[in-house]
Structure 1
Amino acid sequence: MAFDQTTRNRLQRFVSDGRSLLTEEFTRQLQNDYGLDPIAGEVTILENLAHLDDGRRETARILRATLAHYQASSPDATVKDLLERIVREQAFTVLNRLAALRMAEARELLIESVAAGYSSKGFQLYARLAGTGLGETGEAYRCYLFSVFDELALDLAVLFDRFSPMGRLFPRESALLDLLKLLNDPELADLWAEDETIGWIYQYFNSKEERKQMRDASAAPRNSRELAVRNQFFTPRYVVEFLVDNTLGRLWYEMTQGETTLKESCQYLVRRPTEIFLAEGEPAPEPTDTEEELSQADLLKQPVHIPFRPLKDPRDLRMLDPACGSMHFGLYAFDLYERIYGEAWELEQQSRRLKRSGELKPLAETYDSKEAFLRDVPRLIIEYNIHGVDIDPRAAQIAGLSLWLRSQKSWQAQGLKPKDRPQIKRSNIVCAEPMPGEEALLSEFIETYLSATAEQQLVGQLVRRVFAAMTLAGEAGSLLQIEREISADIQLAKQQWLNRPAGEQLKLLELETDQPRQQSLPLSVDDITDDRFWLKIEDEIYTALERYAATAEGAGRFQRRLFAEDAARGFAFIDLCRKRYSVMLMNPPFGAGSLQTKSMLTAAYPRTKNDVYAAFVERGLQLLEVAGNLGAITSRTGFFLSSFQKWREEILLKEAQPTVFADLGYGVLDAAMVETAAYCLSKVA
């Protein structure tokens, strides 16, 4: 169905009403039950909450640990601001969870659980089995929903993990029934089966009025949340298809030299009838002088020579959306990847060589049959191909849900029962945020788990440098060139070792902080490269963080767990920044960056500092492989304003080659008052 304005208005009312209901509910819970007042910004001492039973006392303790964790990372924020953040996070998590259940029901992935409230088939069966052991109907229904959450958390922990700091609270019975009434409004019934619904829910969680208040208060975003809220505009499906068709679709079309079904299924793929695919090593003929005299119509009839592209294993065709939001680009790219994988199997059977990297084995050596291979393709797409970064934690929930629903759709079409579906073990959707701010916990972690050997001490020092370098991750997101800082640190350590006077030890890198300087250590780094070193230490860091979280004891155990989990997410973000991608797709923020990133943007992006969308394009080209494709929808101002001259001349016309361009004008990005253009670039050597 078409998401026209009337349809979007209905969905917007639901999201707005649901948010208001949950915000009021969780504010009241914090005030009345847990001694935390988001309105006054006051915190009651835990010992004074004598009315709490053991379960709610533990929740009160966890909420205070969460507050302390947020204070460490945002020292300038007030207690009121941080308590409001906790309420907001609990509200959007519950709203997203119930919307996800409703969407899963509509796709017959889940037995009816929320569509009919207490009368839902799933709950009725559960209640008959449980009997009276779970108490009154409302309490039994809550237990049932929790069991559904726990089952789905096996594949989608980022949304359904009930023990995450963003999902500790749940509405009381009266509020839950009101929310279910909103969720099951007959006007929304047809929307839950649509893929775009979750994206519009993501956009509408923040109101137009809230955006206006932010803009009225400051011309530039004042923090990462304002930057996210002011730039949440859902990309329409036709724009998504245009950009994906002419980046990922075009890439595979050229690799197969036109022998692909994508040329029929990709309706926006731009092709010329005179295309000539060159053989490996074959140069394109030099243009003749007469071409300059031809009319535009005659030029379009001239042969177009397509440089040779080696045929790559689809597992190496990585795609990144550096400001992913609800992952609308990835949702459509999933469709193309499925066709690409199917064709890759057939090409390999025809003895066509697929270029592959790392330890990847040929598909036929990895799978016993084509059927087994196709069964695994949805997992491969999520674990190998689609990557996304955003500064909004809601994006990780929504984007993860979008891809999970899409993978289930594929397995459902294959007739696979849930128990026979491959388990998705990892996702490449990350939230860019600073490393946790608890300096005492960082020192404790390094001293406990990264100090036993000389090598560990070097790793520990690099961890400390990474923590410092990630300070602006929540503001800058993908624009933070963290991989360059890491590479510089490793190379400096190696150079210091190689240039040392005979008999002297390596002086480890020193930070300009109040922390004590590290000792000199006897290390050999002669054969270290960036990739080898990072791959070697990454597992050690993750293992140490897991041990730190698992063995935490005492009153601060939950805060230590939050520290470890946030640090692990930070290293996952670094890992994405260190990869190189075949395809880059984006609807980036536009306008000024946040106030905190002004000096960083000036230093890192001197040619594009005047508008963050131009910087995102420049950054996207940095992360692309040579001859990789970038597709973007941005403001069209960059193509004619004098302030973007360097962007046009030095980036669009030197570092990349424009391949397609569509001037779209106003009214494309919902309520955004901006004239847009959609275009694709190919990175040159």
Structure 2
Amino acid sequence: MDKGLRDKLRSAVTQMRKLLEKNIGEILEGRYGIHRNGMVENEENFVHLPQEEQTHRHDLIAYLEHIRSFGLNPKGAIEQLIREIAFTHLNRLVAFKMMEARGLIREAVSRGLKSQGFFFYLADHPEEEDRYNAGQQELAYRHFLLWLAQRYQEEIPALFSPHDPANRVFPSHRVLEEVLALINDPELAEVWDEDETIGWVYQYFTPKEMREKARKESSAPRNSYELAFRNQFYTPRYVVEFLTDNTLGRIWYEMQRGETVLKERCRYLIWQPNEVFLSPGEMPPSDEGKVYVRHRPKEDPREFKILDPACGSGHYLLYAFDLLQAIYEEAYDDPDLGPKLQQDYPDREAFRREVPKLILERNLYGIDIDPRAVQIAALALWLRAQRAYQEMGLKPEERPKITRSHIVVAEPMPGETELLEEFVANLRPPALASLVRAVFYKMELASEAGSLLKIEQEIRDAIEAARAQWMAETEVLFKEAARLKSKPKPKETFDVTATEESFWHEAENRVLKALRDYAEKFANHRGYLRKLFAEDAAQGFAFIDVCRNRYDVVLMNPPFGEASKPSKAYIEKAYPRTKNDLYAAFVERGLEWLVPNGRLGAITSRTGFFLSTFQKWREEILLGEARLVALADLGYGVLDTAMVETAAYCLEKV
């Protein structure tokens, strides 16, 4: 996408944000008595509302209570509510437009009320057709868009969750028409078929003036929201390719001893014609005329794990998807890897159909502190998978449903203490309650520290303590069962001799099942609050799972500068060698996540390569825990409006 087109998109996104945020604020205040200054009017003032809107009002107040439990004041909570509803509606409308462009859905937003898909919906829903004919066209269209969102809530829950407050507050039809007019501007027609468009929408939602204002007011981000938008810079495609080619691409290149299509396909892959690939255990001879490449054992591509710990809109993961498709194709015919793949998928075409699903469900992982980013990245990867199916000639109804991905938001566990205690009171065995309380406590800084929160280490003692408690409880249960000549109930026991890893997974599975049961237990507006509690807690456990993994590749455009004020003390303690700049800490953290000989690719400020304050980072991290395998000194003007000189580099963990 050229700069002229990006500027037009920037202008459109800025206008849409202003329209939506202003309108949502007016609706909250005028219809529901929820004011921007934090005041919420008494319920008796709204008994005139239809029952559905009264339910919506109760849910919105419950949602405010929920987000206030994270520490926000009333005014801040309402500002966040407005922002969340606005960006979710924008992201959904853009998603529908991009789905249209790919032929995934019938026309839904391109002509608003006159869209073909809307008329098909009316034909299939007589009650909506009656509503339309009775003059309630706008309400029928709103129901159509919500119905469309519901169709995809299982595959893209981050964007289409039924519990999202955007399902309770819809922009006025006048504003919706203005937003759709901007989306459907003929000058933007060509952008909706491009995978990267959704990333630019994410980038432009926060205007640069807001970033500049925040930096003037405070040198360090004051909270996680500021940290997110102050470091929101889209990574250019050539940088993404350079880093991914020389991490994921190079790993596969070495596994294949140079015989791979990636050698030609990856434009920035560094290789030399005089390379000699060594056999297992073989040491390189002293021959200066050759470049000896140590042996890299082959690995089933289903076991590859690629992480972006500050994923934004998922740009790295989108390109990694491209390479993984080629890797799977080659692996199927590989003499060592092929037999197992062919055993699992005897039919090549069936295997090819499964590959996009495998990539999203087994290979790609992302973390971000910004829920907007998680929405966007999840959507972008799903759309990329749909494009792959389209290229295979598969109709939408013939495509495997992708119901699992690993794009997670780093945020604290829900803060409602009374709901936590209500939930853990019924957990069985009781050792689970202690573990859950510990996890909730250790996750408090998740939104501030993000990927830098070493949660897998923070909860290690809690897991072992729960395991010991469980062991003691199990011993008592079996003794009592022996006395009564009976067997303990399965849900009260567990194999306490299991490894920490299997113990954690069993405990987590039981907690997640309990959360699902808890969420469905009540039907009133407190029930909605419990659903939010359960959903956020489940997201927290998903974040922990991503952090507990080890990865073959870590790719990143991490935040730079100072840590947010709430996380500063933690960062200084957890990263004493790299605490002076976030990007240095991210590189240290990324190397921790790698398997031996795994590779990390990053674009950061270039200052770390020469400033004395980064000496420990260079000596102990870059040259001590890794070896530098590729470096591009890029200078200014790479990251959109960021006034920073950058370098892109790849490291291999030693």
Which residue matches 2:347? 369
Which residue is 1:574 aligned to?
A: 544
Q: Name the SS of the counterpart of 1:36 in structure 2.
A: coil
1:217-256 per-position Cα deviation (integer Å, ceiling 9, x unaligned): 1110011000001000000111001011000000110111
Cα distance in 1 for partners of 2:411, 2:469 equals 32
Mapped pair 1:122 → 2:117 = yes
Amino acid at match of 1:49: F
Letter in 2 for 1:581: Y
Q: What is the rounded CA distance, in whole Å, between the counterparts of 1:41 and 1:444 in structure 2? A: 28
Q: Contact 1:19–1:92 (CA<8 Å) still a contact in 2?
A: yes
Q: What residue in structure 2 maps to residue 439 of structure 1?
A: 417
**Amino acid in the other structure paired with 1:469:** K
Of residues 295, 319, 335, the one that matches 1:332 is 319
- Counterpart code for 1:668: V
Q: Report the residue type matching 2:223 in the other structure.
A: N
Gaps of 5+ in 2: 478-491
| Alignment partner, residue 427 of structure 1 | 405
Structure 1: stretches of 5+ with no match in the other structure: 292-301, 355-360, 506-521
Residue 209 of structure 1 deviates from its aligned partner by: 1.0
| Structure 1 partner of 2:357 | 379
Q: Does the Cα contact within 8 Å between 2:577 and 2:616 map onto a contact in 1? A: yes
Taking the aligned partners of 2:463 and 2:638, their CA distance within structure 1 comes to 45
After TM superposition, the score normalised by the length of structure 1 is 0.89
Shift in Å at residue 504 of structure 1?
12
* Inter-partner Cα distance in structure 1 for 2:167 and 2:443: 25
Structure number with higher helix proportion: 2
> Residues 47 and 496 of structure 1: is their aligned pair in 2 closer, same or farther, counting only changes over 3 Å?
closer
1:149 Cα deviation after fit: 1.6
Contact 1:162–1:168, Cα closer than 8 Å, also in 2: no
Q: For residues 332-481 of structure 1, what are the structure 2 equivalents within 5 Å?
A: 332-347=319-334, 350=335, 352-353=336-337, 362-448=340-426, 450=427, 452=428, 456-481=429-454
Cα deviation 1:396-421 (Å, max 9, x = unaligned): 11001100110000111111111111
The aligned residue for residue 93 of structure 1 is: 88
2:77 is aligned to 82
Q: TM-score, normalised by structure 2?
A: 0.93
CA–CA separation in structure 2 for the residues paired with 1:139 and 1:169: 12
**2:43 alignment partner in structure 1:** 46
2: distance between equivalents of 1:47 and 1:558?
Answer: 21
Which region of structure 1 is more displaced relative to structure 2, 323-332 or 527-536?
527-536
Does the 8 Å contact 1:220/1:594 carry over to 2?
yes
Q: CA deviation at 1:526?
A: 6.7
> Structure 2: how far apart are the matches of 1:613 and 1:660?
18
User: 1:224 matched to which residue of 2?
Assistant: 224
Aligned partner of residue 579 in structure 2, secondary structure: coil
Deviations 1:553-607 (A, max 9, x none): 5441111111111000000000000000000000000000100111111111000
Residues 396 and 431, structure 1, Cα contact 8 Å, conserved in 2: yes
| 1:65–1:388 CA distance, 2 compared to 1 (3 A) | same
> Structure 1 residue 189: deviation in Å?
1.0
The AA in structure 1 aligned to 2:600 is: L
Contact 1:46 1:60 in 2 (8 A): no
- Structure 1 residues 283 and 496: CA distance shift in structure 2, 3 A: farther
CA contact (8 A) 1:86 1:166 kept: no
Post-superposition shift, 1:121?
2.1
Task: After superposing the two structures, state which structure 1 stretch, 456-465 or 402-411, moved more.
Answer: 456-465
Alpha-carbon shift at residue 126 of structure 1 (Å):
3.4
CA contact (8 A) 1:391 1:431 kept: yes
Q: SS where residue 677 of structure 1 aligns?
A: strand
Residue 307 of structure 2 aligns with which residue?
A: 320
- The residue that corresponds to 2:35 in the other structure is 37
1:482 counterpart residue number: 455
CA distance in 1, matches of 2:565, 2:312: 22
Change over 3 Å in CA distance of 1:353–1:94 after alignment to 2: closer
Once the two structures are superposed, residues 63-107 of structure 1 have per-residue CA deviations (whole angstroms, 9 ceiling, x without a partner) of 000011111111xx2211110110000000000011111111122
Q: How many residues align?
A: 633
Query: Are positions 1:543 and 2:513 aligned together?
Result: yes
Alpha-carbon distance in 2 for matches of 1:66, 1:493: 32
CA gap of 1:536–1:273, structure 2 versus 1, over 3 A, is: same
Q: CA deviation at 1:166?
A: 4.7
Cα offset, 1:536, TM superposition: 1.6
SS in 1 for 2:367: strand
2:228 and 2:370 in contact (8 A); partners too: yes
Larger CA deviation: 191-200 vs 260-269: 191-200
**Residues 616-674 of structure 1, C-alpha deviations (whole Å, 9 max, x = no match):** 00000001111001000000000000000000000000101110000000000000000
| Counterparts of 1:364 and 1:620, CA distance in 2 | 34
The verdict on how the C-alpha distance between 1:147 and 1:554 changes in structure 2, with shifts beyond 3 A counting, is closer
Instruction: State whether residues 497 and 525 of structure 1, in contact with CA within 8 Å, keep that contact through their aligned partners in structure 2.
Output: no
- In 1, distance between residues paired with 2:502 and 2:123? 57
Residue identity in the other structure for 1:328:
H
User: Is 1:66 aligned to residue 63 of structure 2?
Assistant: yes
**Which residue of 2 is the match for residue 257 of structure 1?**
257
Deviations 1:443-481, CA, capped at 9 Å, x for gaps: 110102x1x4xxx21121011111000000000111000
The yes-or-no answer on 1:104 pairing with 2:94 is no
Q: Residue 672 of structure 1 aligns to a residue in which SS?
A: coil
Closer/same/farther in 2, CA of residues 100 and 504 from structure 1, 3 Å limit: closer
Q: Deviations over 1:44-79 (max 9, x none)?
A: 1223212211011000000000011111111xx221
1:152 lines up with 2:125 in the alignment: no
- Label 1:133 to 1:529 Cα distance change in 2 as closer, same or farther (>3 A): same
Structure 1 match to 2:627: 657
* 1:238 and 2:233 aligned: no
Which amino acid in 2 is paired with 1:384? R
RMSD, aligned α-carbons: 2.1
